[in-house]
Structure 1
Amino acid sequence: MLIGNLDGMTVFARVVEEQSFSGASRKLGMSKSAVSKHVTKLEDSLGIRLLNRTTRRLSLTDAGSTFYQHCARVVEEIESAEHALTDLRGTPRGVLRISAPLTFGQRFLPNVIADFMELYPGLKVDIHLADHKVDLVAEGFDMAIRITRLRDSSMIARKLADFHGQMVASPEYLERRGTPKHPNDLVDHDILAYSNLPNPNVWEFDGPDGPLSVRVNPTMWCNNGEFTAVAARRGLGIASQPEFIIAESLHSGELVPILPEYWPRLGGGIYAVYPERRHLPTKVRMFIDYLVERFNSGLATEMRGPCAKVVRPLPEHVLGRADDEEADA
């Protein structure tokens, strides 16, 4: 009975995952009315209602909830079969769903993705930019770019580049408030904190005498690195920033580095991360390969920009440590 309804099962599963006919229509590339017709036809063939529909929301019936579990497994097997065939063709197809940090994504990914899509016109890309960490599996992403000290998880990661952090302030701020000579002096300064860190009120450093932590008293917290950099340029205080955000400001002189012998523990790696799967889709594998190629052929240098001359390698124990801290990710 269901052999002729594989399309309906696929559409129904997508409606449930997107929690709307409109969302499913966007993901599937078909009209909202076509999506609705597929679900109605499926319900008619089964002789049972799968969804409760109101003007505001959709909800699964008990039967729909049970049926969805089976549909999801069937759709996954169909996708695995399609991925296997696509692997043989070596051409990425379908929709590639990517999560990436907001500022990094805005600055460095548009041209990369545009070039990749020009190479493979049959591919569609759905990219989500946000500074919080998404659940790739639960939210249906194929992969993410994460800027972090990677922690152990069920995700598979491929390193694209290293990144470093620096403490910076505007010349106007330093003229007005003075330049700190030691991290302990930060307690007497206006601090612009990045609130996505586990403890934004404690700044950690590696310095000449080893690790050091200082409890600061921020005058501003923000969950976006670019916003924080603008505030620093306006002279609102001292910020601890990833190099890819402040490179241009250091070059222009709008920001200057402070305490160069003390390195904020912001450093780590830029990674392509994806769920552990038996069958990595061609579109994911080829895009990650393309990212590696672009980083190796100049993107990593561009990311550091004109402030690269003030960057030095991080201590190995910092780069190798696995924890929850992220920078603009």
Structure 2
Amino acid sequence: MTLANQFSDLQQDLSSPFEDLTSLRLFVRTVEIGSFSEVARRINVTPAMVSKRIASLETRLNQRLLNRNTRRLVVTNAGQLLYEHAVRALSELDQSAAEMSDLHFQPTGHLRITAPLLLGTFCIAPRLPDFLKQYPSLSLEVNFSIEKLDLFEQRIDVAVRIAIEVDPGLIAIKLAPYHRVFCASPDYLAEHGIPKTPEDLSRHNCLVSRGSILNNQWPIKHGSALDQVAVKGNLRTDSSELVHHAAIAGLGIMMGARWRIEEDLRTGALVEVLAEFVPDNRAIYAVLLQRSDSSRRLAHMVEFLKDCFADLN
């Protein structure tokens, strides 16, 4: 087979009545505006050229798309079907072109982000300088807090949240699972005993932290059901790091994030208890008021946050 024949066969294999996107766009505009002459005026061509393009499209499809008379254009059933599909297809093509164009440009503008204090300090903060070096046209306002800030009132663009579910009306992108653990030091357990059931916690000194709420009701898993057990102790604080240090020092039992105390569990500085009762119903989310793909800087921030939490298990 000659090269010319091969090329001819390839053309036939790839041929489509929609290969002429200009005619398809003209058809969509004509349906929406309802006039050859008005479409022609807006794009600075002749009405005859618009009519010829659409007639050519009808010929390739072997379908009448528009019925014409002296006063108006009427879309046929075939034309309406084509219009609905064409609008979606052209929108996807335009979005693809915009996204590829974005690859060549740096995101710009200002972002306000918030995250829980511990997660922000240990997982996000070490990486933020490199993020700003990579995108020097971005500016950030960062709030690491134990309080849950209102995205609307505080004009927050991205909030990192530890949650079971996210408030209605917000967009949530899961970043990582969030596993917790009950634990204490070997010395504390040797002196006070190892709790065997969640109810045993009432007889122990429990180290209570507070974030946006006082955490004196610890979640407990019984099979597939979730419950809570009331705990008390001689330390209440808004610092999870203080709780961590107090537990290592042998003061009592703590509930904390596994990622933060994994090394202490590995070395034996802390010992896990009640492992079968720890619920696993929470996750870490990036919470937004709008879709991340509607803003280049939002999309880059979400990808950055995914990298920050990629190693959590």
Please indicate the TM-score interval, normalised by the length of the shorter structure: 0.5 to 0.7
8 Å contact 2:209–2:240 — kept in the other structure? yes
Provide the rounded CA distance (Å) in 1 between the counterparts of 2:224 and 2:167: 29
Kindly indicate whether residue 173 of structure 2 is the aligned counterpart of residue 149 of structure 1: no
- 2:144 aligns to what? 129
**What's the TM-score once normalised by structure 2's chain length?**
0.61
TM-superposition CA deviations, 1:84-106 (whole Å, max 9, x none): 9x969642112222111111111
Paired residue secondary structure (1:160): strand
Query: In 2, Cα distance between the equivalents of 1:195 and 1:215?
Result: 14
Task: Sort the Cα spacing of 1:247 and 1:279 in 2 relative to 1 into closer, same or farther, 3 A.
Answer: closer
The 1-side partners of 2:210 and 2:188 are apart by 22
Partner residue in 1 for 2:310: 300
- Kindly indicate whether the alpha-carbon contact (under 8 Å) linking 1:203 and 1:213 is maintained by their aligned counterparts in 2: yes
Partner of 2:303: 289
Letter of the aligned partner of 1:204 in structure 2?
A: P
Aligned residue for 2:275, secondary structure, equals coil
Question: More deviation in 186-195 or 116-125?
Answer: 116-125
Runs of at least 5 residues in structure 1 that lack an aligned partner in the other structure? 1-83, 305-329
Higher relative contact order (CA 8 A, sep 6+): 1
CA distance 1:254–1:278, change in 2 (3 Å)? closer
Query: Which residue of structure 1 aligns with residue 180 of structure 2?
Result: 165
| 1:183-262 alignment, distance < 5 Å | 183-196=198-211, 198=213, 200-208=215-223, 210-262=225-277
Question: CA–CA distance in 2 between the matches of 1:288 and 1:209?
Answer: 32
Structure 2 CA distance for aligned equivalents of residues 128 and 275 of structure 1: 17
Q: Distance in 2 between matches of 1:121 and 1:158?
A: 25
Secondary structure at the aligned position of 2:207 is classed as strand
SS in 1 for 2:242: helix
**Secondary structure in structure 2 of the residue aligned to 1:139:** coil
SS of 1:196's equivalent? coil
Q: Check the 8 A contact 2:209/2:239 in 1, yes or no.
A: yes
Distance in structure 1 (CA, Å) of the matches to 2:106 and 2:247: 45
Correspondence for 1:115 among 104, 110, 130: 130
1:268 maps to 282
After TM superposition, the structure 1 = structure 2 runs for residues 23-38 of structure 1, keeping only pairs within 5 Å, are none
Deviations 1:136-191 (A, max 9, x none): 22112221111121233332111111111110101111111111111111111001
RMSD: 2.6
Could you tell me which runs of 5 or more consecutive residues in structure 2 were left unpaired when the two chains were aligned. Answer: 1-98
Q: Aligned AA for 1:300?
A: A
Q: What SS class does the counterpart of residue 261 from structure 1 fall into?
A: helix
Check 1:212–1:138 CA distance in 2 against 1; reply closer, same or farther (3 A cut).
closer
Q: TM-score, normalised by structure 1?
A: 0.59
Query: How big is each residue's C-alpha offset from its partner over 1:6-43, in whole Å with a ceiling of 9 and x where there is no partner?
Result: xxxxxxxxxxxxxxxxxxxxxxxxxxxxxxxxxxxxxx
CA deviation profile, 1:190-212 (whole Å, cap 9, x unmatched)? 01122236563322211348444
Q: 3-state SS of the aligned residue for 2:139?
A: strand
SS at structure 2 position matched to 1:300 = coil
Distance 1:180 1:163 in 2: 23
Tell me by how many angstroms 1:285 deviates.
1.6
C-alpha distance in 1, partners of 2:280/2:250?
Answer: 22
Within the candidate set 69, 86, 92, 2:107 is matched to 92
Describe the shift of the 1:87–1:134 C-alpha distance in structure 2 as closer, same or farther (beyond 3 A): farther
Specify whether residues 224 and 150 from structure 1 end up closer, same or farther in structure 2 by C-alpha distance, changes over 3 A only. Answer: farther
Using the aligned pairs only, state the percent identity: 32
Contact residue 148 and residue 212 of structure 2 kept, 8 A: no
Residues 155-164 or 202-211, more deviating: 202-211
- State the aligned residue count: 214
State whether residues 165 and 267 of structure 1, in contact with CA within 8 Å, keep that contact through their aligned partners in structure 2. no
**Correspondence list, 1:57-96, <5 A:** 90-96=105-111
Q: Could you tell me how far apart the structure 2 residues matched to 1:157 and 1:210 are? A: 25
User: Who wins on radius of gyration, i.e. which is larger?
Assistant: 2
More displaced 10-residue stretch of structure 1: 104-113 or 172-181: 104-113
> Match of 2:219, as an amino acid?
E
Match of 1:105 in 2: 120
Change (3 A) 1:245 1:278: closer
Contact kept, 8 Å, 1:98 with 1:143, in 2: the verdict is yes
Residue 191 to residue 282, structure 1, CA distance change in 2 (3 Å)? same
